[in-house]
Amino acid sequence: MCGIVGVISLNKKTIDINCIKPMADKIAHRGPDDAGYLCFHTGTKHENKVSFFQNLTDEKFKNIDDMLPAIESISAQRELHLHDYDLYMGHRRLSILDVSYDGHQPMSDLSKNIWIAYNGEIYNFKELRAELEQLGHRFKSKTDTEVIIYAYIEWGIDCIKKFNGMFAFSLYDNFNKKFYLCRDRYGIKPIYYHITKDNTLVYASEIKSILEYKDYKSELDKEALLEYFTFQNIFTNKTLHKNINILEAGCYFEINLLSRDLKKINYWDFDFSASEKLKDEREYIEELDRLFIQAVKRQLVSDVEIGSYLSGGMDSGSITAIASKYIPCLKTFTVGFDLSSASGIELSFDERAKSEYMSYKFKTEHYEMVLKSGDMERCLSDFAHHIEEPRVGQSYPNYYAAKLASKFVKVVLSGAGGDELFAGYPWRYYKAVNNDSFDNYIDKYYGFWKRLIPNKDIKDVFSPILEDTNVWTRDIFSSIFKTPLKAQNAEDYINHSLYFEAKTFLHGLLVVEDKLSMAHSLETRVPFLDNDLVDFAQKIPVQFKLKNINNLININENDIGKLQKTNDGKMILRKAMDRHIPQDINKAVKQGFSSPDSSWFKGDSIEFVKNKLLDDKANIYKYMDKTSTQKLIKEHLNGKENRRLFIWSLLNFEEWNNIYG
């Protein structure tokens, strides 16, 4: 797990050499173990087509990279400024597999013509390596990085379809003068990019590195802001930073450096349409159990210690149950909440007792952290710096969970993906049933996902910027779905909802998890997003995932405590996990990982909220109407409405403005 940065000129101009080290330094937290810089003169801008390169390290890491010049040295700087370079690849390494110097990146094949800068883990790399060795390839390291290089040499860029794992990487093929920027199927690993006015592509694992490249001027994307405050997420590939985009999951860029053509290829997508003949439920249960165990075992490959999150729920509990069979005294981590100032249903939000019970059952070495109301206030600035833009949910507890885990391990297992694959949000599919047309379904489902601001207020709240935007959020919403769409019954519509949430909500969760874990130099792995498991889960009929398709309840997610009224999601997963986790955990009602912010925002943290959001000079009022916005805030503070998601989003956006605005 690492961080990558890079620049590639799409015209006749050289790249700015002075920016390359600052770009990598900005994401040093993603890779504190090593640094590498590759500057390439590809020869594609000159008639003689001669290519050459400089491969450098950092003075800090000369003790492990003693064969490479340090980028700070006088000789390296002289060479960098003496020649033109049109391609740069930078890398910061968090050593997980083959922690020796052999894992240094950017890495090349023996001919020094195929180069890669890679962030991620390929869990089936040993099988691919054995296959490649049978085909005559030889390896000098024990890394999955080198396997990607020779897989590309053998199978071309289609090799990414063989990778079972998470990744974002850039690859340069000097033989064919082609450059690739690739992202994994599900978007577990992010990659951002910006095309400058002089047609230079700048990319990085995090936005803050792109901000370091010469003439980028930080500016808010107002259309992305409207999108976020509609869905508490950004469904398009926009970010709040204007003209900086995220490469979509399951996509890659291909750039021909001779013609300077850039193509985006979508090589994989979710497909929840059941295409196989209906089987006995027991067959699905047995195969699901086999694939789940296989997925967890695959993701235990590592040369450093692995731990696991352990909440009170079935997803992390099931992963811990399997992992603990192969890792004695597995380290597990839980974040709980001080509920002394909570009220109502939020008094049930602390799940430490359940976690401790499972830790006892699975014989793990268990660690806990208890969050108080002031912890949100204390971390908000650092949180906003690392998250780089608001995304789904009130995710600061995840920041603390990663901070806790990073004190003990370099890798942690997470239960993300279980809900999206196995229909874990029954109240969300309420809008999917009893529809007479797809347009009607879109209208109802779109209405549910307008999470933050009541319909009647949204135009008033954003009146200061509406004239500067040309965005219709319903069109954005409907564009997520594949076309043409055919829905015959409730099961078809629910499958459409599962597809939508995997593309949007899950993607947002994965981006947040990456940023918050890597802020603490921690790698997060998600066994539910194993390729074989995902392919199988998509084909399981909805009738085996939900208890009662035609009697789903309707819940407002601001009132998260009401989720305790339902436990009829993920039915087949519950049955498959019966043999692994305690019955009372497996059958428990759905409980999201959430802090008691509804109480805290109008109690212990009320002065913090008032100082941040009721200040007439707050940054948010450059873009939002003060009177309309403060009316909604006061409705929560006075106990009239529960607007915990809206208030969190405002706090996050205000802090974003302080740092990036």
How are the residues of the chain apportioned to helix, strand and coil, as percentages rounded to the nearest 5? Answer: 45, 15, 40
Question: Does 414 belong to an annotated binding site?
Answer: yes
Phi/psi at 203 (5° precision): -140, 160
Determine how β-strand 178-183 pairs with β-strand 331-337: unpaired
3-state secondary structure of 113: coil
CB 305 within 8 A of CB 522: no
Which residue, 50, 56, 60, 63, is CA-closest to 78?
A: 56
CB 26 within 8 A of CB 208: yes
Dihedral angle sign, alpha carbons of residues 485, 489, 495, 496: positive
Question: Does 344 belong to an annotated binding site?
Answer: no
Which residue, 283, 272, 332, 287, is CA-closest to 307?
A: 332
Which residue, 340, 338, 332, 339, is CA-closest to 356?
A: 332
Q: Which two tokens stand for residue 30?
A: 């993603």
H or E element, residue 36: strand 34-41
Torsion of CA 7, 259, 217, 1, to 10 degrees: -30
Which residue, 541, 39, 645, 534, is CA-closest to 277?
A: 541
Strand partners, 200: 9
H or E element, residue 55: strand 52-57
Determine how β-strand 192-195 pairs with β-strand 178-183: unpaired
CB 362 within 8 A of CB 318: no
H or E element, residue 92: strand 87-93
Torsion of CA 512, 513, 516, 518, to 10 degrees: -120
Sheet holding 251-256, edge to edge: 107-108, 114-122, 165-173, 178-183, 251-256, 261-266
Q: Where are the alpha helices (DSSP H) in 13-156?
A: 20-25, 74-82, 125-134, 144-155
Query: What DSSP assignment string belongs to 265-298?
Result: EE---------SPP--HHHHHHHHHHHHHHHHHH
Angle value at C-alpha 44, between 41 and 45, nearest 5 degrees: 90
Strand partners, 90: 5, 37
* CA 500/CA 510 separation, integer angstroms: 15
Query: What DSSP assignment string belongs to 162-223?
Result: G--EEEEEEEEETTTTEEEEEE-SS-SS--EEEE-TTSEEEEESSHHHHTTSTT----B-HH
Which residue, 245, 241, 181, 247, is CA-closest to 216?
A: 241
Query: What DSSP assignment string belongs to 122-134?
Result: ETTHHHHHHHHHH
Q: Where are the alpha helices (DSSP H) in 519-602?
A: 531-539, 571-577, 583-586, 597-601
* CA 156/CA 159 separation, integer angstroms: 6
The annotated binding site for ATP is made up of 335, 414-415
The annotated binding site for L-glutamine is made up of 144
The annotated binding site is made up of 144, 335, 414-415
